[in-house]
Chain A
Amino acid sequence: MSSSKSRWADEDPEADALIAQRKREKEEKRRAKAEKQRREEEQTQLQAARSQSATASPNGDSDAPPKKRRRLSNEQQQQPTSGVDSQQNQVKSNLLQFPVLEWGPCRHVDNFERLNHIEEGSYGWVSRAKEITTGEVVALKKLKMENSPDGFPVTGLREIQTLLKARHQNVVFLREVVMGNKMDEVYLVMDFLEHDLKTLLDDMREPFLPSEIKTLLLQFLSGLEFLHSQWIMHRDLKTSNLLMNNRGELKIADFGMARYYGDPPPKLTQLVVTLWYRSPELLLGAETYGPEIDMWSLGCIFGELLTKEPLLQGKNEVDQVSKIFALTGPPTSQIWPGFRSLPNAKSLRLPPSYSSTQKGTAPPLLPRAKFPFLTNSGLQLLSSLLALNPAVRPTAAECLKHPYFREDPRPKPKEMFPTFPSKAGMEKRRRRETPEAPKRGQEAPKLDFASVFGGQTGGDAGEAGAGFTLRLG
């Protein structure tokens, strides 16, 4: 490096002179500044010495001030350096400092001792492990590498890339990536969290209190807002991917489906998000979509927190769509302009009575009977998140400002959160009842939604799906 650095110096005497000139100017400024500072310091020292000699005992007097004065009255060499320091500090404080980041090779997985298996997700096996040198307990996730004719699986690459970028208190912290002996043994080392929200909900007798739900949602939203601000879509938000520790902290995990998006949105696969949390535009085959799909999943999770049960448990894509429409009412071209042009919407036959009953473009409120303990503003937030039209769903940033979080009961402080016995700590987590995220590389199904409304025209949209007869199931 030193040789290449000297190259430009030799080649550019003009620029060199320029730099030298600048340096001289800077040096002069520094000297002047140092001189000024020195005088000021001398003044204060003098004053201090005076006041001290007036009050202190002869003993103390002989101790402190001369020491300082000696340093001060020393040769000028020392003075300028301290002046330079202070000036540099000043300059630096004006300029923004970027995070100091480096890269280095992966460490070996043998630095960790595996303790117990936690779960098997769609993109890897997770176990609890201990870093041998520090004794810290971490979660070790082995990436699945089979079936990768195109080299390192892009999903794994994206998971690492997005997690490395998503440094936020509500996103699980990826410490490092380690490798085994073989090239295809890749492990993500992450902070270990005791719980996932799905297991907690399953084990609880009563759902979370409204104040607790707000705390959870606020943390979730804050993490999601950060992800979206970094152009990251999670694309597999569900309660089993929300981890919690015993300090009441919630963190978004499992970025196996996450990826960057752009504006305008690139063409993406519709085969994302676990079925129960998948938004209607994905189910209808939209080829471009955005972070609104995460907001839909968030709405489903909100509902799940309220009732302790997954909100929309479809058996397959068609059933999922009919469950969604049963809850929200069917789409109309008023509330969701353009939904007709989505690939899978062609087979969708809507009951004719609906197109006229809906007025206005705002999404209708969800049936109150379904969420009896939710306040009006809470229902309004939930309904807007579960709006069929992705364009009217609020962003995470907008949700954070929603009045629901400001009204009583206030969010419970994290520290006051109840603690729970950990499933992940000791034993294998129970087998998931939720369906898994779709596998990459599958063909997007051409779905026939002709049967969504069972050929019958429904009654009134207000009652939770009472008007629909579903042929499926």
Chain B
Amino acid sequence: MPQEIAGLKFLSNALATPEQLTSSSSSIDGVPTDLETSVRFAGAQLTQSAGILLRLSQDIIAQAIVTFTRFWLGPEGGSLRIYSAKDVSAAALYMTAKLSFQPTSPRSVLNVYTFLLSKEASPLWFVNPRGLPTEPVPEHYHLTEGGYQAQRHILLQIESVILRTLGFNTHVALPHTITLTYLQTLGVASPAVARRAFEHLNSSLLSPQLLYLTHQPNALAVASIYLAARENGVKLVDGEWWEVFDVDREDLGFLVVAMQSMEGFARAESEKWKGRMLPLDTEEVDAEIERRRMLEAGE
């Protein structure tokens, strides 16, 4: 590998292979594709929420979500019938924080996850469809010492599983910083555009098209800028400026459409699971598959 390209690793990611995109360990184990998509979507949101409660910075959270998403990909990835999405989410976040400038303790992580996964107290729609109780009841999200020991064991075990599954490829390059650089290069001074671009980048983390696993950060950055500028009515330079940032028109088009579709996707997901809990562990996934089987048999 030439040196100039080797240096670019800092700005680039390992991408999913076509084989990893076409089949997953979960689908081999009989998990319907749409269910897998839903669980991945919920798991990524769970990671995001936990990261916020742990006061981690967004770059760590984003890296953890990418690691979480990578884990499930391909026939050699993790299966939702063997590994619980909630455990993988917690371990991905814990491990990413450990490697960052803001490490956090297993206890903090597990406290936060106990709260977020509480069926009574969780603020997450896919865990607690009834919504927040009027009065907080701490008993609902208290982590007992025994529970802590058991959960901690699982956390550290799943951490090793993630590392093994990803071949220790923990590097995740994010598009956020280069987005700002590109905006400066393009002479866009509007904070609204920058904010909107970041919003697109952050919601793309939850994309069912796995944008962070199929496209390099520079392409994500360019697409978010293109879309944010258009939504804000800010005119960018004439000409094919994206080529300056090494993105071709086709990739840009695909990413823009994918980013635009995120809102609709999120709406459809919450509509689809309205009033129901999304399965975030293996038992719940098994139960959901069984439920669907029964429904089909009943028809």
Residues of A within 8 A of B (CB): 1-5, 7-8, 11-12, 15-16, 18-19, 22, 26, 91, 94-106, 150-152, 154, 157-158, 160-161, 164-165, 167-168, 176-177, 179, 183-184, 226, 229-231, 262, 266
Contact = CB atoms under 8 A, between A and B. Distances in A.
Contact of A102 (B14, B163, B248, B258): B14
Interface string B88-113: 00000011001101010110000000
B52 interface: no
Given A95-B246, A99-B9, A8 B168 contact: no
Closest 3 CB pairs of A and B: A101-B14, A151-B156, A103-B169
Contact of B98 (A8, A19, A98, A157): A157
16 contacts: A1-B22, A1-B209, A2-B22, A7-B265, A22-B250, A94-B243, A98-B218, A99-B9, A102-B20, A103-B14, A106-B167, A152-B159, A161-B171, A164-B169, A167-B6, A177-B168
Given A11-B264, A157-B98, A157-B99, A150 B167 contact: no
B99 A266 contact: no
Contacts of A266: 101
Given A94-B243, A98-B8, A161-B170, 8 more contacts: A4-B209, A15-B257, A100-B15, A102-B15, A157-B170, A161-B99, A179-B164, A183-B161
B290 interface: no
Contacts of A158: 99
A131 B210 CA distance: 35
B8 A99 contact: yes
A28 to B, nearest CB: 14
Contact of A165 (B5, B10, B34): B10
Contact of B171 (A11, A12, A18, A165): A165
B253 interface: yes
Given A91-B248, A104-B167, A98 B12 contact: yes
Given A98-B5, A106-B164, A154 B103 contact: yes
Given A91-B248, A106-B164, A179-B164, A152 B5 contact: no
B6 A102 contact: no
A422 to B, nearest CB: 28
Contact of A152 (B21, B76, B95, B165): B95
B123 interface: no
Contacts of A1: 21-22, 209-210
Interface of B: 1, 3, 5-17, 20-22, 33-34, 37, 70, 74, 76, 94-95, 98-99, 101, 103, 105-106, 155-157, 159-161, 163-171, 208-210, 216, 218, 243, 246-250, 253, 256-258, 260-261, 264-265
A168 B1 CA distance: 9
Contacts of A229: 7
A97 B5 contact: yes
A18 B254 CA distance: 11
B159 A151 contact: yes
Nearest to B262: A8
Contact of B160 (A3, A15, A165, A183): A183
A226 B260 CA distance: 39
B260 A12 contact: yes
B106 A151 contact: yes
Given A12-B260, A22-B253, A152-B159, A99 B1 contact: yes
Contacts of B7: 226, 229-230
Given A99-B12, A151-B159, A168-B6, A177 B167 contact: yes
B98 A154 contact: yes
Contacts of A183: 157, 160-161, 164
Nearest to B258: A8
A244 B35 CA distance: 53
B261 A8 contact: yes
A167 B239 CA distance: 36
A182 B79 CA distance: 20
Contact of A151 (B1, B20, B155): B155
A151 B94 contact: yes
Contacts of A230: 7, 9-10
Given A99-B12, A105-B164, A179-B164, A167 B1 contact: yes
Contact of B253 (A18, A106, A177, A184): A18
Contacts of A18: 253
A99 B156 CA distance: 32
B163 A165 contact: no
Contacts of B95: 151-152, 157
Contacts of B101: 262, 266
Contacts of A11: 261, 264
Contacts of B247: 95
Contact of A101 (B3, B11, B15): B15
A150 B98 contact: yes
A103 B70 contact: yes
A168 B160 contact: no
B178 to A, nearest CB: 13
A160 B168 contact: yes
A110 B223 CA distance: 45
A260 to B, nearest CB: 8
A198 B20 CA distance: 45
A11 B208 CA distance: 14
A157 to B, nearest CB: 6
A246 to B, nearest CB: 24
B254 to A, nearest CB: 8
A176 B167 contact: yes
Contacts of B74: 104
Contacts of B8: 96, 98-99
Nearest to A23: B250
Nearest to B208: A4
Contacts of B1: 99, 167
Contacts of A96: 8, 246
B34 A3 contact: yes
B83 to A, nearest CB: 13
A161 B5 CA distance: 18
